[in-house]
Amino acid sequence: MAHIGEEMKNKQVIFRDYVRGFPKESDFIITSATIRLKLPQGSNGVLLKTLYLSCDPYMRMLMQSQSATNSYSPGSLIYGFGVAKVLESAHSGFNEGDLVWGILKWEEYSVVEEPGKLIKIQHTDVPLSYYTGILGMPGITAYFGFHDICSPKKGEYVYVSAASGAVGQLVGQLAKLMGCYVVGSAGSKEKIELLKNKFGFDDVFNYKEEPDLNAALKRCFPEGIDIYFENVGGKTLDAVLLNMRPHGRIAVCGMISQYNIDQSEGVHNLMLLVVQRIRMEGFSAPDYFHLNAKFLEAMLPYIREGKISYVEDTVHGLESGPTALIGLFSGRNIGKQVVAISTE
Amino acid sequence: MAHIGEEMKNKQVIFRDYVRGFPKESDFIITSATIRLKLPQGSNGVLLKTLYLSCDPYMRMLMQSQSATNSYSPGSLIYGFGVAKVLESAHSGFNEGDLVWGILKWEEYSVVEEPGKLIKIQHTDVPLSYYTGILGMPGITAYFGFHDICSPKKGEYVYVSAASGAVGQLVGQLAKLMGCYVVGSAGSKEKIELLKNKFGFDDVFNYKEEPDLNAALKRCFPEGIDIYFENVGGKTLDAVLLNMRPHGRIAVCGMISQYNIDQSEGVHNLMLLVVQRIRMEGFSAPDYFHLNAKFLEAMLPYIREGKISYVEDTVHGLESGPTALIGLFSGRNIGKQVVAISTE
């Protein structure tokens, strides 16, 4: 138990340098600084104790030197979504003891000088780690990506790639609740079992065992695909385009297959967007954060009534973080990858 | 002047065989059949005299053996949009003397057994050839593609490729009427002059003289692009993606740069759809044909009041058709390519 004013060890994860290809453990440095648990004189921020950190695929883009978004700075701490407890607050929006989620630096204790974007956690009858997943950024991504971008209708044919991931498992279950026919793909036997037996996908396939993705999709969707929830990009997208129905929709959430290669694979079948009159739309969860209350109103009952399950893959301690993070890109994790830092 | 019952020469254009690469004149056979100008016994159709035929890029797709749409049949007549006069009608919707536009076979006289999809021409104070262009399929493409798919707002930055073509010249002018900043690209000095001096584009460039399309777009759009009206695909689309603003829209009308190559160029920058939350949407004019009355209500006044100009490139006689058609793919035509068959 940490007390205000106390001097504490503060483990941190530092970004060594820009990454090419797959990130490796050596791209990160784990150090131990010390921190006095007290907001600096004149601060308007909050002092946080990190409880959970989230490993998300988009973080790979921040490791590029030439990134369309702001990259991590070599020699500085990496950051990502996480859950924390307020130890001290000089900001009118937060009180000691509040639980929050939002962008956090990867360290055990953290001062956030501009905490305005942190979201207060009001519901604690569910696991706190859920605010890195089903009730956090990935949940908002799945909920609005599916309901807003995909414009789903009952009975439509839905395909979800990376379907056991933090977002995919939710999209599949939301689509089932909507009355859609849902097929998911993933890259291991264990994940495939999960899709079928835990999340209730109508059909599944292991993309690593399919020499011909187009044939696999034709087998699973003899009538074609109305909605594709795109998490992987590249060859998968090309195969999907060959199987889309007229007026289909593709919600582009991410393209994890492309993040670790220098030159992304070309997509060749875009002319089918015209032939089939397809809408393909990129989106990003932060555009929906202001609808968090509406989101919770929909999602909390699903959790409480057992209508949606959520599978997490948890490692413990900040020092396990880099391995967990880079595991995303080899598909090591089964379900949402969480790093548990502290439970108090 | 042809009379009902008379036996007439009937020139026709026959599709020789599926095409790979650029279509050549030898892919088409010009023949002369004879036709008795009389509907067959028991017909419920119409007998037409062809006045104008339209050359449109999408026709290249019908020359593929493996096409997502119905291909032309080797040994059979090709078809496309055109304007015709009804010589005889056994269909309750049409009378002798009516003018119509719609899908016609490439021949001088034609029997259409199911004329239900032909659209009657009510306004003849404008050139009849316009119903192959500004008042026909390309006009509907431009009007709804821009207003419906692009969701334009005054002051937005609009880029149109193949900007002097049948559709591009209209999109540019519609965007100017909307109060947008409009840049067009084309492939010759003469076309560029047209864009600037006749159609009023704010800025223009000749893509054949730009070694770096990304740099050309950055020069023309220092603030980025809100709306891209996509007519060409491939490398141009990749360069555009690098320059799109957040929440931009890409209306995918066609990808003419890709129609004559066996393996289409890959598009590599699709991840920017996510980063910039871009909507990219394919569409097709026939989905809007039921809104023809609304379309004419908007477009006819623009023509009559001189607010929109339309440039056509006209060749004469069915025998000139194949050369005109294949000229689309080398950019030979300046403006909408029309084949004038008869003026009476």
* pLDDT tens, N- to C-terminus, chain A (344 residues): 678 889 999 999 999 999 999 999 999 999 999 999 999 999 999 999 999 999 999 999 999 987 666 899 999 999 999 999 999 999 999 999 999 999 999 999 999 999 999 999 999 999 999 999 999 999 999 999 999 999 999 999 999 999 999 999 999 999 999 999 999 999 999 999 999 999 999 999 999 999 999 999 999 999 999 999 999 999 999 999 999 999 999 999 999 889 888 888 999 999 999 999 999 999 999 999 999 999 999 999 999 999 999 999 999 999 999 999 999 999 999 999 999 999 86
DSSP label at residue B97 = T
CA distance A55 to A80: 7
Within-domain flag for A175: yes
CATH number for the domain that contains residue B275: 3.40.50.720
Q: Cβ of B275 and A68 within 8 Å?
A: yes
Q: Cβ of B237 and A270 within 8 Å?
A: yes
Closest to A153 (Cα-Cα) out of A184, A179, A183: A179
Q: Which two tokens stand for residue A212?
A: 């011909």
Residue of B nearest to A280 (CA): B280
Measured between beta carbons, the chain B residues lying within 8 angstroms of A237 are 270
Give the minimum alpha-carbon distance from B67 to chain A in angstroms, rounded to a whole number: 10
Residue of B nearest to A261 (CA): B268
Q: Cβ of A276 and B282 within 8 Å?
A: yes
For residue B186, pLDDT beyond 90: yes
Contact between B74 and B16 under an 8 Å Cβ cutoff? The reply is: yes
Regarding whether A316 and A206 lie in a shared domain, the answer is: no
Within-domain flag for B291: no
Class of residue A277 by CB neighbours under 10 A (exposed 0-12, middle 13-18, buried 19+):
buried
What's B310-324 look like in SS3? CCEEEEECHHHHHHH
Round the average pLDDT of chain B to a whole number and report it. Answer: 96
DSSP label at residue B96 = T
Regarding whether B188 and B153 lie in a shared domain, the answer is: yes
Regarding whether B144 and B31 lie in a shared domain, the answer is: no
Distance of CA A132 to the CA centre of its chain: 8
Within-domain flag for B83: yes
Class of residue B144 by CB neighbours under 10 A (exposed 0-12, middle 13-18, buried 19+):
buried
CA distance A36 to A39: 8
Q: N- to C-terminal Cα distance for chain B? A: 8
Regarding whether A146 and A109 lie in a shared domain, the answer is: no
Q: Which of A266, A269, A271 sits opposite B268 (nearest CB)?
A: A266
Regarding whether B171 and B31 lie in a shared domain, the answer is: no
pLDDT in tens, B100-132: 999 999 999 999 999 999 999 999 999 999 999
DSSP label at residue B107 = B
Q: Cβ of A275 and B237 within 8 Å?
A: no
Q: Which of B69, B265, B282 sits opposite A278 (nearest CB)?
A: B282
Composition of chain A by helix, strand, coil, percent to 5: 30, 30, 40
The β-bridge partners of A89 are A46
Q: What residue has token string 């050549």?
A: B24
Q: Which residues of A touch B (CB under 8 A)?
A: 61, 68-69, 233, 237, 252-255, 258, 263-284, 287
pLDDT in tens, B284-331: 999 999 999 999 999 999 999 999 999 999 999 999 999 999 999 999
Regarding whether B145 and B43 lie in a shared domain, the answer is: no
Count Cβ atoms below 10 Å from residue B208 Cβ, excluding itself. 11
Give the minimum alpha-carbon distance from A233 to chain B in angstroms, rounded to a whole number: 8
Within-domain flag for B217: yes
Q: CA of B158: how far to CAs of B54, B220, B270, B300, in Å? A: 27, 10, 19, 24
Q: Which of B233, B253, B279 sits opposite A270 (nearest CB)?
A: B233
Q: Which two tokens stand for residue B267?
A: 């598009």
For residue B60, pLDDT beyond 70: yes
Contact between A145 and A229 under an 8 Å Cβ cutoff? The reply is: yes
Q: Which of A267, A272, A283 sits opposite B270 (nearest CB)?
A: A267
Q: Cβ of B266 and A263 within 8 Å?
A: no
What pLDDT score does B67 carry? 65
Measured between beta carbons, the chain B residues lying within 8 angstroms of A253 are 274
Measured between beta carbons, the chain A residues lying within 8 angstroms of B278 are 281-282
Closest to B333 (Cα-Cα) out of B318, B344, B342, B320: B320
Regarding whether B148 and B126 lie in a shared domain, the answer is: no
Q: Cβ of A264 and B277 within 8 Å?
A: no
Last residue of a domain, one of B286, B302, B331: B286
Q: Which of A258, A275, A280 sits opposite B68 (nearest CB)?
A: A275
Closest to A247 (Cα-Cα) out of A150, A160, A155: A150
Q: Which of B68, B258, B268 sits opposite A264 (nearest CB)?
A: B268
Regarding whether A274 and A141 lie in a shared domain, the answer is: yes
Q: Which of B264, B271, B277 sits opposite A268 (nearest CB)?
A: B264
Give the ranges where chain A is alpha helix by DSSP (H): 137-144, 168-177, 189-193, 213-220, 235-241, 272-275, 292-304, 321-327
What pLDDT score does A114 carry? 94
Within-domain flag for B102: yes
Q: In sequence order, what DSSP letters do the residues of A29-41 get, joined into one string?
A: EEEEEEEESSPPT
Question: How many folded domains does chain B comprise?
Answer: 2
What percent of chain B is predicted at pLDDT more than 90?
Answer: 93
Measured between beta carbons, the chain A residues lying within 8 angstroms of B281 are 273, 277-281
Q: Cβ of B271 and A255 within 8 Å?
A: yes
Contact between B315 and B325 under an 8 Å Cβ cutoff? The reply is: no
Count Cβ atoms below 10 Å from residue A20 Cβ, excluding itself. 13
Residue of A nearest to B269 (CA): A264
Measured between beta carbons, the chain B residues lying within 8 angstroms of A268 are 263-267
Last residue of a domain, one of A270, A286, A302: A286
Within-domain flag for B296: no
Give the angle subtended at the CA of A182 by the CAs of A180 and A185, to the nearest 5°: 165
Give the minimum alpha-carbon distance from B342 to chain A in angstroms, rounded to a whole number: 32
pLDDT in tens, B245-274: 999 999 999 998 898 888 889 999 999 999
Regarding whether A278 and A259 lie in a shared domain, the answer is: yes
Q: Which of A68, A255, A278 sits opposite B270 (nearest CB)?
A: A255
Regarding whether B162 and B42 lie in a shared domain, the answer is: no
Give the minimum alpha-carbon distance from B304 to chain A in angstroms, rounded to a whole number: 32
Q: CA of A176: how far to CAs of A147, A157, A160, A168, B108, in Å? A: 12, 10, 12, 12, 56
What pLDDT score does A67 carry? 65
- Does residue A261 sit in helix, strand or coil? coil
Within-domain flag for B303: no
Give the minimum alpha-carbon distance from B86 to chain A in angstroms, rounded to a whole number: 31
Contact between B323 and B108 under an 8 Å Cβ cutoff? The reply is: no
Give the minimum alpha-carbon distance from B296 to chain A in angstroms, rounded to a whole number: 23
Measured between beta carbons, the chain A residues lying within 8 angstroms of B282 are 272-279
Regarding whether B226 and B93 lie in a shared domain, the answer is: no
Q: Indicate which of B273, B276, B278 best probes the interface with A, i.e. most A CBs within 10 Å of its own CB.
A: B273
Within-domain flag for A325: yes
Give the ranges where chain B is alpha helix by DSSP (H): 137-144, 168-177, 189-193, 213-220, 235-241, 272-275, 292-304, 321-327
Q: In sequence order, what DSSP letters do the residues of B115-155 get, joined into one string?
A: GGG-EE----SS-GGGGGTTTSHHHHHHHHIIIIIS---TT
For residue B137, pLDDT beyond 80: yes
- Does residue B228 sit in helix, strand or coil? strand
What pLDDT score does B69 carry? 67
Give the minimum alpha-carbon distance from B255 to chain A in angstroms, rounded to a whole number: 7
Q: N- to C-terminal Cα distance for chain A? A: 8
Regarding whether A282 and A142 lie in a shared domain, the answer is: yes
Q: Which of B264, B278, B282 sits opposite A273 (nearest CB)?
A: B282
CA distance B244 to B261: 27
Give the minimum alpha-carbon distance from B325 to chain A in angstroms, rounded to a whole number: 20
Domain hosting residue A145, numbered range: 137-286
Give the minimum alpha-carbon distance from B265 to chain A in angstroms, rounded to a whole number: 6
Q: Cβ of A277 and B266 within 8 Å?
A: no
CATH number for the domain that contains residue B73: 3.90.180.10
